């Protein structure tokens, strides 16, 4: 059991963020062991052979597919903004301090460092640009074509969890992130096999990162000097590679665009829905207005954010 002790300062500093660099890391691990991530099989089938055979990705593969399920922390730093851009995160990796790179390699590999990474240990500042170039190449090949929809799913999860945290507090929100997570007496526990360790976050806060490719696992990074991060499977992962058009049975009645929006609706913003459905934001707003007028959707505001949520009537129409 992994235990994180959160002070009042930590609880006050909880934030949600989306991390493209983490999706690079997590998706590469999916390609290594697709049997444990069957939900992503359509994506795996498209990319696995090319990625695992590509000689220009060798160093990145050896970093990510490390022994004992460990991972060098510098490959996926805690995102600084709610929706980090890929290039910003790649830049953060490139500027990792030399001592930290060597420390991570020693912690993860010990005396089993692959030969492909010897230059990285010897001269991190000179070798890191090559690692980042491989991350960028891998991103463009496997994730960039799908990022609009991936980002939409992750944003929808953030909106849902943030609202849950605001309405019901951490004692309700944390356990809903994943069955492996529990919360009691200001301690966040993550059920991890063969792991018994505790961390006092000491006012460093906690970044909660929904992930498409983490499924079905939860990942925690809490050791210093890193900002504490908990990465958990996002809601709606199963719909990512679904080939059927959402709400297809309703399309002849209310139109394909409105049927798709109604099927996608949890608590995303208008922008998030546009990314998830491929519709333009102005079109999404117009369709949502019609769905609201029909009593299928309700509009809620939290500060500057606007949430559209299916009503019971909308759920009944979809058969949920």
Q: Is the pLDDT of residue 143 over 90?
A: yes
Inter-residue contact 264 to 273 (CB < 8 Å): yes
Q: Please say which residue of 99, 116, 146 terminates a domain.
A: 146
Domain end residue (candidates: 207, 235, 263)? 235
pLDDT at 320: 56
- Average confidence score pLDDT of the chain: 86
Residue 186 sits in the same domain as residue 257: no
* Judgement on whether residues 141 and 156 belong to the same structural domain of the protein: no
Residues in contact with 83: Cβ distance below 8 Å, sequence separation at least 6, in sequence order: 17, 18, 151, 155
One domain for residues 123 and 24: yes
Q: Read off the pLDDT of each residue in 65-93 and give the average, rounded to a whole number.
A: 86
Residue 243 clears pLDDT 70, i.e. is over it: no
The whole-model pTM stands at: 0.80
- Confidence check: pLDDT of 318 > 90: no
Same domain, 153 and 134: no
pLDDT at 47: 92
Among 235, 269, 297, the domain-final residue is 235
Structure tokens at 70: 């460990």
The per-residue pLDDT for 15 is 92
234 within 8 A of 212, measured Cβ to Cβ: yes
**25 shares a domain with 11:** no
Exposed/middle/buried for residue 100 (C-beta within 10 Å: 0-12, 13-18, 19+): middle
Q: Is the pLDDT of residue 69 over 80?
A: no
63 and 122 part of one domain: yes
Q: Both 131 and 159 in a single domain?
A: no
Instruction: Give the model's pLDDT for residue 4.
Output: 95
Paired residues of 200 in beta bridges: 5
pLDDT tens-digit series, residues 291-306: 889 888 888 765 556 7
Expressed as residue numbers, the domain containing 106 is 20-146
Q: How many CB atoms are closer than 10 A to CB 305? A: 13
For residue 116, the model assigns a pLDDT of 94
For residue 290, what is the domain's CATH number?
1.10.10.10
The predicted structure's pLDDT at residue 71: 87
- In this structure, the answer to whether residues 12 and 153 fall within a common structural domain is yes
Instruction: Dump pLDDT digits (tens) for 176-233.
Output: 999 999 999 999 999 987 778 899 999 999 999 999 999 889 999 888 878 899 999 9
Name the least confident of 166-180, 186-200, 242-256, 274-288: 242-256
- Same structural domain for residues 139 and 166? no
In the chain, the DSSP E strands lie at 2-5, 15-16, 181-184, 187-190, 197-200, 207-211, 219-221, 229-233, 297-302, 305-310
Q: Note the pLDDT of residue 254.
A: 81
User: According to the model, what pLDDT value does residue 304 have?
Assistant: 59
pLDDT of residue 257: 81
pLDDT computed for residue 62 by the predictor: 92
**Could you tell me if 124 and 180 lie in one domain?**
no
Confidence at residue 183, expressed as pLDDT on a 0 to 100 scale: 94
Q: What is the pLDDT of residues 34-44, one digit of tens each?
A: 888 888 999 99
Q: How many CA atoms lie within 13 A of 302 on its CB side?
A: 14
Clarify whether residues 45 and 139 are in a common domain. yes
Q: How many beta carbons lie within 10 A of that of residue 188, not counting itself?
A: 26
Quote the number of domains for the chain: 3
- Let me know whether 118 and 12 are in one domain: no
As separate numbers, helices (DSSP H) first and strands (DSSP E) second, the chain gives 15, 10
CB 96 within 8 A of CB 226: no
pLDDT tens digits, one per residue of 95-131: 999 999 999 999 899 888 999 999 999 999 999 999 9
């Amino acid at each position: 059991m992994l235990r994180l002790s959160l002070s009042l300062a930590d609880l006050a500093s909880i934030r949600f963020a989306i991390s493209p660099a983490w999706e690079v890391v997590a998706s590469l691990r999916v390609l290594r062991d697709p049997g444990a991530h069957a939900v992503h099989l359509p994506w795996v089938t498209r990319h696995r052979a090319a990625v695992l055979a590509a000689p220009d990705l060798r160093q990145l593969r050896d970093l990510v597919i490390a022994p004992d399920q460990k991972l060098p922390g510098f490959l996926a730093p805690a995102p600084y903004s709610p929706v980090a851009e890929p290039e910003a995160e790649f830049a953060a990796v490139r500027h990792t301090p030399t001592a930290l790179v060597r420390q991570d390699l020693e912690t993860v590999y010990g005396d089993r460092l692959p030969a492909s990474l010897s230059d990285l240990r010897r001269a991190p500042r000179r070798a890191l640009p090559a690692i980042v170039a491989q991350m960028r190449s891998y991103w463009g090949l496997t994730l960039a074509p799908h990022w609009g929809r991936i980002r939409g799913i992750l944003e929808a999860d953030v909106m849902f969890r943030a609202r849950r945290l605001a309405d019901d507090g951490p004692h309700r929100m944390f356990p809903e992130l994943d069955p492996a997570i529990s919360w009691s007496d200001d301690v966040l526990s993550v059920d991890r096999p063969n792991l018994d360790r505790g961390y006092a976050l000491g006012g460093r806060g906690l970044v909660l990162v929904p992930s498409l490719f983490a499924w079905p696992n939860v990942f925690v990074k809490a050791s210093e000097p890193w900002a504490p991060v908990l990465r958990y499977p996002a809601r709606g992962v199963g719909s990512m590679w679904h080939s059927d058009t959402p709400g297809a049975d309703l399309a002849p009645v209310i139109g394909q665009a409105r049927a798709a929006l109604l099927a996608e609706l949890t608590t995303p913003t208008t922008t998030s829905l546009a990314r998830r459905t491929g519709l333009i934001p102005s079109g999404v707003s117009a369709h949502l207005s019609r769905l609201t007028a029909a009593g299928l959707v309700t509009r809620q505001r939290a500060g500057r954010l606007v949430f559209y949520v299916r009503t019971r009537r909308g759920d009944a129409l979809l058969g949920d």
